[in-house]
Amino acid sequence: MKKVSDIIIVGGGQAAGQVLVSLKQKKFSGKITLIGKENLYPYQRPPLSKAYLKGEIETDRLFIKQPNFYDDIDIDFALNKEVVKVDTERKSVQTHDNEFHFKKLVLATGSRPRKIDIDGSDLGNIFYLRNIRDAENIKCAMQKSESLVIIGAGYIGLEVAATAIKYGLTVTVIEKEERVMNRVVSKDVSRFFQSEHEDKGVRFLFNQNINYFSGENGNVAKIHLSSNETIQSDLVLVGVGGVPNIEIADNTKIEIDNGIKVDSACRTNVEDIYAIGDCTNHWNNIYQRYIRLESVQNAIDQAKVVAENISSGDLSYDSVPWFWSDQYDIKLQIAGVSQNFDEVIIRGNTLEKSFSCLYLKNRTLIAVDAINRPRDFIHSKNLIYHKTIIDDDKNNIKEIDLKEYLHKS
């Protein structure tokens, strides 16, 4: 007789872990099976490029909950297993050695680092950062290295650069665009972060592509650029974005479009199948369009929505997306999505390392970058949610506390 779980969760990251937490809070009594590729309980990944890489926290502090949290839940952990097939007709998922049947399926497969495929990219000491093993390998390599080349000036690249400086490494960041965090922040914010890193000794090379790597004794030794410049380094980190893990939906009726496509309730187009987290392209009620986010808070919020809806609720995901990045003594907090803005307003003083950048579209606040300015970040989430019109003159906006705009929302 086949065994059927009320819920099967595929994944082992923040989204998968939050589903379990939320279901326990709702006193869900059904049978749950979690299938994860790693031999670990669900854990959080943001500290991997920061506190964990620095050696400031141990592995057990990465776990979303300690193992005994799950003692009073009817759950089986099928760890170190990969789902190779989903059968939507039979309502089953298959691993290499087993078949699991479900009443409801939650796909929380996350994303993976985008790989570069050029000559020499298979040399040793070229790393990507996604999981605990990656972080351990990078930490070990940093302790034995003198220099680090980072390919990509996004969040991961800059966070690792800050960590590497603390290890005493010589750091060079190579970016194909013209500035750091090009896709997600304004030029003013980019200039600020570039300057902060340069003050600490980081070297930037912009508008550059990698032609190939060359090595010695099986490890990387030189990075050859499109400008014909050659950089020597015994360690390389590649951080050029993420790719959603959507292969699980291949050869199924589950709709794919820049991720697993879900509605505002995190439902796929196939009944009883949900998807959450980095792997999804979700309908966002605030921006009235589909968005794919690689964000811890997005994963948490979507997981709560799914847990509620599985427990016979009727909840839609309508949270303002938010992100953060820690670099040196700087905390960047981003609320909203700044794509397609038509106006930027800077509040505060960049020289004092405390300012925020407001992004407007048709005078409506759509996003805020807050640098060591938590009050602006907190208030901006409400203002963005309520699609607040910023119609004062710019000087007033620069001085007034953002909470003053809440009554206008």
pLDDT digits (tens, 9 = 90+) for 270-294: 999 999 999 999 999 889 999 999 9
The pLDDT value given to residue 407: 63
pLDDT at position 409 over 70: no
Using CA atoms in the order 60, 65, 71, 76, what is the torsion angle rounded to 10 degrees?
-90
Task: Say which amino acid occupies 376.
Answer: D
Q: Across residues 7-18, what is the average pLDDT?
A: 97
> Which letter, b or e, does each residue of 10-33 get, where b requires 16 or more Cβ atoms within 10 Å of its Cβ?
bbbbbbbbbbbbbbbeeebeebbb
The pLDDT value given to residue 312: 79
SS3 137: helix
Kindly list the domain boundaries of the chain, sorted by start residue: 4-112+243-310, 115-240, 329-408
Q: What share of the chain is helix, strand, coil (3-state, %, to 5)?
A: 30, 30, 40
Q: Across residues 354-380, what is the average pLDDT?
A: 95
The pLDDT value given to residue 351: 87
pLDDT at position 394 over 70: no
CA atoms within 13 A on the CB side of 308: 14
Which option is the CATH number for 329-408: 3.40.50.1820, 3.40.50.300, 1.10.4190.10, 3.30.390.30? 3.30.390.30
Q: How far is CA 327 from CA 24, 163, 175, 272, in A?
A: 35, 8, 18, 41
Fold of the 4-112+243-310 domain: FAD/NAD(P)-binding domain (3.50.50)
Gap between the Cα atoms of 49 and 278, Å rounded: 17
Ramachandran quadrant class, 206 (left: phi over 0; alpha: psi -120 to 50; beta: rest): beta
Domains 4-112+243-310 and 115-240 are alike in CATH topology: yes
β-strand partners of 343: 360
SS3 302: helix
Kindly state the tokens that stand for 43. 């854990």
CA atoms within 13 A on the CB side of 253: 10
SS3 346: strand
Ramachandran quadrant class, 118 (left: phi over 0; alpha: psi -120 to 50; beta: rest): beta
Looking at the chain, the whole-number percentage of residues with pLDDT higher than 90 is: 88
CATH class of 115-240: alpha beta
Q: Across residues 199-226, what is the average pLDDT?
A: 97
The pLDDT value given to residue 198: 98
Kindly state the tokens that stand for 226. 């499109």
SS3 11: coil
Q: What is the pTM of this model?
A: 0.94
User: pLDDT (tens digit, 9 = 90+) per residue, 61-104?
Assistant: 999 999 999 999 999 999 999 999 999 999 999 999 999 999 99
The pLDDT value given to residue 1: 60
